[in-house]
Amino acid sequence: MGSDPTDQWIEAAGHEHFRQRHPALALAQETFIAPLARARRTASFFTTSPGVITLVTVIITVGILAAGLSMAQSSVQRQQQLDMLITNAEPMSYSAHNVYTSLSIANTAATTGFVQAGVEDQLTRARYTEAIKRAGESLAETAAGMSTTQSRSSDEHALALIIDIQQQLNIYVGLVETARANNRAGNPVGAAYLSEASTLMRERILPAASDLFVLTTGEVMTKQSNLSKPQWVPISGLVAALVMLALGQIWLSKKTRRRLNKGFVTATALMFVALMWVGSANYVTWKAGTEGFAEAAAPLNSLTNARIRAEQAHTQETLALVLRQEVGASGNDFGETIRTLNRALDEFEDSSLGSSSQAIGHVYSARSAIDKWVTAHEQLVKLLAAGKYQEALPAATGLGEGSENSSAAAFHDLDENLATLIADARASLRAYIRDGVTAARAVPAVVLILSFVSVVALWLGIRPRLQEYL
């Protein structure tokens, strides 16, 4: 029998209606229903044994990678900050020290040249010019290191000090040149100009330079102390990863009824090695940054402060000669300066820095220079008190006969030895900072490699367990 045309029409219409669903229904199914179905199937998978094992492994993986990346990032930041400390902050502090010593030397040289009969000699003039030039260069070096090493408040304070020193130094140089011009012309007013210049240096410029040195040195000490502290937060992340591995191993042994999983054991051993590596690096950094740094920093600060006081005392001697004044009133200050010098040398000797034969020789030479200076100072005091200014000139400045026993000769010998000891202490301090840099540099790559290998071992170890459910 042939089919009824009417039935074919109805059948065709039904098929056409089934194939052409409403667009809104199709969009809703693709947008909401299908993702929900996939999420339901995924959630149902994680309720099964292989799903739970996979989920636990993923969580441990995330913990290991997070701990490794956190430690690597923290170590890189520490390395960069230590690099900044040794390349910018510490040199900046040393430049601030040079600002003070150079200014003090310039003031002494200017005063010494003024007391010479006639025109000052070329050596004294060159010493003054070189000291002023070095002070200006050191100011520029200190300012250049500010933007990358100081906090905002310290930076503003330091820059204000630098600007003030530079402005007042220009005034000082002008006063000295005016004093020299009047001295060459035989005008007595030259002494007044020199006195005003020296007062400006001692009461305005040198105190500002001292504040700058204290500020920059304190910044170095603070940064070194902070960078020497253990990295407790990243270390705690590694400890947490180890705890997760241990708990995961216990859970897996109960789940699979096998005592040990090679992958978990390997990952645990690797992360333990990472923790020990980080702990050793932190210990080296801590020891170098606390005990070692303090061992070098304490004598360095003491010697620097003692050298500054010695510069001040020597300038007072020369200025007293220019102004035809007695220095007996400053005897207590001079005595305290000598005691400060001896304490600084004692501290250097008692430290590990004073154990070398070279250091012992410089300390001995410095003490001998101190004894000669004390003798020359006492002689100078007596001559000035008696009004014997012509005899006091060689005793103070080393110009003329008996210069080898002068106050200036003893001070210059002392200053050279102090400068050498300060340089040794600074070299030792920088060596301790470099030890911290080296220790920090060794951490990031090792920790990252161990973390990634731990993750690979973890998944290789769990793979056979998952295959058991297939």
Kindly report the pTM of this predicted structure: 0.73
Question: In the chain, what's the furthest Cα-to-Cα distance?
Answer: 155
CA dist list (Å): 12 to 1, 15, 26, 443: 20, 5, 22, 75
For residues 199 and 180, give the distance between their C-alpha atoms in angstroms, rounded to a whole number: 16
Rg (CA), the chain: 39
For residues 228 and 429, give the distance between their C-alpha atoms in angstroms, rounded to a whole number: 14
Locate tokens 């170590």: which residue?
Answer: 75
For residues 409 and 121, give the distance between their C-alpha atoms in angstroms, rounded to a whole number: 17
Q: Give me the pLDDT at residue 436, please.
A: 79
For residues 453 and 270, give the distance between their C-alpha atoms in angstroms, rounded to a whole number: 8
User: Which residues lie closer than 8 Å to 91 by C-beta, 6 or more apart?
Assistant: 141, 145
**∠302-136-86 over CA atoms, to 5°?**
50
DSSP 352: G
Tell me the average confidence (pLDDT) per consecutive run of 10 residues in the chain, 470 residues long.
48 48 56 60 62 86 91 87 84 88 86 66 83 91 69 74 92 91 80 85 89 85 81 89 90 77 89 91 78 75 87 80 63 81 90 82 92 88 80 70 71 90 86 80 87 91 75
Q: Domains of the chain: which residue ranges?
A: 63-467
Q: How many helices (H) and strands (E) does the chain have?
A: 18, 0
Q: Are 277 and 385 in contact (CB under 8 A)?
A: no
Q: Give me the pLDDT at residue 9, please.
A: 44
Residues in the chain: 470
Q: Give me the pLDDT at residue 404, please.
A: 63
Q: Give me the pLDDT at residue 168, please.
A: 93
For residues 451 and 276, give the distance between their C-alpha atoms in angstroms, rounded to a whole number: 13
Q: Give me the pLDDT at residue 340, please.
A: 93
